Structure 1
Amino acid sequence: MSNQAVYTLINQQNGNLSFKVFEFDNNSYFDHIQRNNYFTIIIVTSGEGVAKVDFCEYPFQENSMFAFYPYQPFLLQVKGPLVGFCIQFHHDFFCIYRHHKEIATNGILFNNIYQQPFISLEESAKATLLNFIKEIIGELKIDALRRDEVIVSYLKIFLVIATRIKLEQQSVQEGEAVNAKQLLLVQRLRNAIEDNFRVKHAPSDYADLLHLTSPVLSKIAKTHFKKPLSELISERIIIEAKRELYLTPKTIKEIAYELGYEDEYYFSRFFKSKTAISPQSYRETVGFNRQAG
């Protein structure tokens, strides 16, 4: 394990982690499955390998920035040293769901089932983001007036800049994508999932909607999104379930029903199979009841 400094803020009400930032010089932090109950941002300044995220693998190189949402499973497999910085923060400290309209992060940087979970950083962009991390560390080293508010402000700007970078890269990637016909099919699939994930859960449903055979649609999903169509659908359902568990007082039975599951116990097993935690435990850890308390 590295001897690099770790800077943390603890929630004084419950003793849990609110915010953490540290520098790493090896992979001991990320070489095993992570299922954290907080957001995780990793900037790799040196090193390369393969990121295993959910059920997919993504090769990555230095100057990559990862963004993982709570309970998203991931690990980083590398051959040599891995060097960089990591930021972790809890919903209670800064809620992506509550601020998503303000900073346009949710659904782009985090919770984007259609894009790889990292962005490549040009030298200038990397320098800008690392500078904000250094400013945050500077605040964490002192016990000054309204320190938490200053850190939240830096974090918000950091996330906005990172989101801009990802949006720019998405435009380039889509511009370089194959032909217009395939691009149209990909957009139609996205729209179909967004419009129907609450009532249609099977890949065959979407093949019927788009008037394609299941093998053809599965190939499109795998080619463009690097994951099976079934996972795209499941991840979209889980994102919505987490949002409801976090932001609303609805019962699990109500949430299950709104997402197309008449049996709340079946829904709970599905949720746990994808997140390694039950809906009730998720709510108690980061959700509505916790906030209300």
Structure 2
Amino acid sequence: MANQSVFTLINQQTGNLAFKIFSFDDNRHFDHLQRHNYYSLIWIKKGEGKLKADFSEYDFTGNTLFAFSLYQPFMLSSENIKGVAIQFHPDFFCIHKHQNEVACNGVLFNNIYQPPFTLIDEISSLAFESLYEQIQNEMQNQALAQYELLVSYLKIFLIKASRLKAEQLPNFPENTSQKEPFILQNLKNSIESNFKIKHSASDYAEDLNISAKALAKITKTYFNKTLTDLIAERIVIEAKRELYLTNKTVKEIAFELGYEDEYYFSRFFKNNAEVSPQLFRETVGYGRSAN
């Protein structure tokens, strides 16, 4: 389109995308299944439609910010959207290594318990618009310390978006008993504590002293996912983190995640991530840079 603008930085060592921003005024970028070896922030300024991500489907309207992690599958169905996108490879900026500074991992990205989007209010919209313009200006200006300035703008964008997302806690229906949210919090705690050793839904039902059928119904109602999906997502997120941040073998990672058979684990990873552990490592990590 005539008013579309795309700015891209390429990693000179690998030839892969490092950092990219672009504006869009239709859905052609996102109307097919996306699985990228980089992070994507997609800000829908105007329009509405449906998002398919992982195992779920959501309706969306304007002033919504999507955040998708490495190889996370997503697709947008819409005919009238306008907005901007920011995409970055972990070699350009690693959210794991900068967790103490930015704290977006588990909030914006890799949050298996909440939908992968944040609603943007008017004040935040002005702040994000200003940041995007600064990034765009810097992308056109290959001056001294361009990389450092771009990372600074990206950090601010991620921090503001993470704060906004953190404020938007799940809204439980009014007729919900107090017991169910309490069980959900216990379930989240149990998954975080046990996902490396407990892989079946029945394990968690037993942990929480609730029937598997009842827990399955509650999980589907509040997270729009099955409990099996939640467990699988959590295991894959940890595996991706290990593949990127460490030089452990796939066999070592599999064993640490409770899988004695490396090949069974590799099949499980590929079924859920649509990419083998080895290809994920080749295209994303092991973290080569200091970022």
**TM-score interval w.r.t. the shorter chain?**
over 0.9
Contact persistence 1:283–1:290 (CA under 8 A): no
- Greater CA deviation, 21-30 or 7-16? 7-16
Contact persistence 2:91–2:287 (CA under 8 A): no
**Structure 2 counterpart of 1:268, one-letter code:** S
- Rounded to whole Å, the distance in 2 between the matches of 1:163 and 1:178 is 27
**Structure 1 counterpart of 2:14, one-letter code:** N
Unpaired stretches in structure 1, ≥5 consecutive residues: none
Partner of 2:84: 85
Contact persistence 1:92–1:291 (CA under 8 A): yes
What displacement does 1:179 show? 3.4
What displacement does 1:86 show? 0.4
Mark the CA change 1:49 to 1:234 in structure 2 (over 3 Å): closer, same or farther.
same
Partner of 2:194: 196
Partner of 1:260: 258
What displacement does 1:130 show? 1.6
Partner of 1:221: 219
Partner of 1:28: 28
- Rounded to whole Å, the distance in 2 between the matches of 1:174 and 1:135 is 38
- Rounded to whole Å, the distance in 1 between the matches of 2:172 and 2:229 is 21
- Rounded to whole Å, the distance in 2 between the matches of 1:289 and 1:28 is 32
What displacement does 1:178 show? 3.2
Contact persistence 1:65–1:120 (CA under 8 A): yes
Identical residues among aligned pairs (%): 54
Partner of 1:67: 67
Partner of 2:208: 210
**Structure 2 counterpart of 1:252, one-letter code:** V
**Structure 2 counterpart of 1:239, one-letter code:** I
Contact persistence 1:268–1:279 (CA under 8 A): yes
Partner of 2:116: 117
Mark the CA change 1:177 to 1:34 in structure 2 (over 3 Å): closer, same or farther.
farther
- Rounded to whole Å, the distance in 1 between the matches of 2:11 and 2:91 is 8
CA RMSD of aligned residues (A): 1.6
Q: Would you tell me which structure has more helix in proportion to its own residues? A: 1
| Number of residue equivalences | 290
**Structure 1 counterpart of 2:22, one-letter code:** F
- Rounded to whole Å, the distance in 2 between the matches of 1:175 and 1:166 is 19
- Rounded to whole Å, the distance in 2 between the matches of 1:239 and 1:178 is 30
- Rounded to whole Å, the distance in 1 between the matches of 2:56 and 2:32 is 15
Partner of 2:8: 8
Q: Secondary structure at the match of 1:29?
A: coil
Q: So what's the TM-score if we normalise by structure 2? A: 0.96
Q: CA offsets per residue over residues 180-232 of structure 1, 9 Å max, x none?
A: 21111010000110111001111111111111111100111111111111110
Given the alignment, which residue of 242, 245, 248 partners 1:244?
242
What displacement does 1:13 show? 1.3
**Structure 1 counterpart of 2:207, one-letter code:** L
Q: Secondary structure at the match of 1:97?
A: coil
- Rounded to whole Å, the distance in 2 between the matches of 1:119 and 1:233 is 23
Mark the CA change 1:193 to 1:250 in structure 2 (over 3 Å): closer, same or farther.
same
Q: Secondary structure at the match of 2:154?
A: helix
What displacement does 1:257 show? 0.5
- Rounded to whole Å, the distance in 1 between the matches of 2:67 and 2:52 is 13
